[in-house]
Copies of this chain bind each other. A is one copy, B any other.
């Protein structure tokens, strides 16, 4: 990790920005994000997987190692999970100085309707050893990162893996997983940042020592400098985003609305506790008023919709903001706390707008 020496985005960052797709914020209108609008972060390449030879192996410190074909997984009891997923690096490019990696602005989020087999019963059938502490999830994607050649791997504690409601998803929004979202199988961990939702999943390994692979020990840690151990990135912090109102200017993305009542809408989520409040400011965070919150009780792990009527009576320039608070009392900061990797930036969204 390093930080940008100047304000211009480098060609390396542009290469990442071109590959990694943000959700267009107007897609916040849909409770379930249409395929192709959900954000997408691909560490290496999207692998081409032959589903007939593909297997999911469940191995390691277990009494009974297991292996599944895709059909065998599909024959198990299926669950459906609407889950909001946000990249841990969302908002990175808004930090100063800017950590050099995928330069996300605010759109690295989406909500999928995932369908698959529950992880917990599979682990129970394999019977983890009493000494087991963690479960490692390995994808088929391979590359070099931080000078380490690796396949993409992330771990969860055995407790989290069995109690968090994890799903081994083979469908997204009613259709087979698209290649870019992990075909044929993806781990979905409700409430966690995206990096834990391993795509192209091929191996689950129960281990007796904490996993120290790159994506846990080096990547996705909140720290101020390289020589600090830091703490791991885990569950999503509370955040709210709005559909930018009015119409845009092509290049600047500046927004223009006509005077009068403007119906603002957006969505809010937290991986830590349910959202209990969303506030809106039309004066760049100077004063706040409550939005009407519409959580869907059937979908705890999906974002909650909210609306707010703004009486844009006078022409002029405004900066709109929204701020979510979850049941733990955690709320969004106005200014983001900085860290080396640019993770967990849940500072309030600012939407400059011209009323005419």
Contacts and interface: CB of A to CB of B under 8 A. Distances in A.
Interface of A: 6-19, 21-22, 24, 26-27, 29-30, 34-38, 40, 42-46, 48, 93, 100-101, 103-105, 107, 142-146, 149, 175, 178-181, 244, 247-253, 256
Contact of A16 (B43, B251, B256): B251
A140 to B, nearest CB: 12
A12 B93 CA distance: 12
B34 A179 contact: yes
Q: Which 3 A-B pairs have the closest CB atoms?
A: A8-B8, A9-B9, A36-B36
B251 A37 contact: no
- Give the oligomeric copy count: 2
Contact of A247 (B8, B10, B144): B144
A51 to B, nearest CB: 14
A244 B21 CA distance: 19
A180 B24 contact: yes
A14 B12 contact: no
Given A37-B180, A144-B247, A10 B8 contact: yes
Given A36-B180, A46-B24, A143-B247, A17 B14 contact: yes
A345 to B, nearest CB: 15
Contacts of A34: 178-180
A171 to B, nearest CB: 14
20 contacts: A14-B14, A15-B253, A16-B251, A16-B253, A18-B104, A18-B105, A18-B107, A19-B253, A24-B42, A26-B46, A26-B48, A27-B46, A29-B48, A35-B36, A36-B178, A37-B178, A37-B180, A44-B248, A101-B251, A144-B250
Given A9-B9, A144-B248, A145-B251, 15 more contacts: A8-B9, A14-B93, A21-B36, A24-B42, A24-B180, A30-B179, A34-B178, A36-B180, A37-B178, A43-B250, A143-B249, A144-B250, A145-B249, A145-B250, A146-B250
Contacts of A27: 46, 179-180
Nearest to A254: B144
A210 to B, nearest CB: 23
A139 to B, nearest CB: 13
A22 B22 contact: no
B18 A9 contact: no
Contacts of A15: 105, 253
A37 B247 CA distance: 26
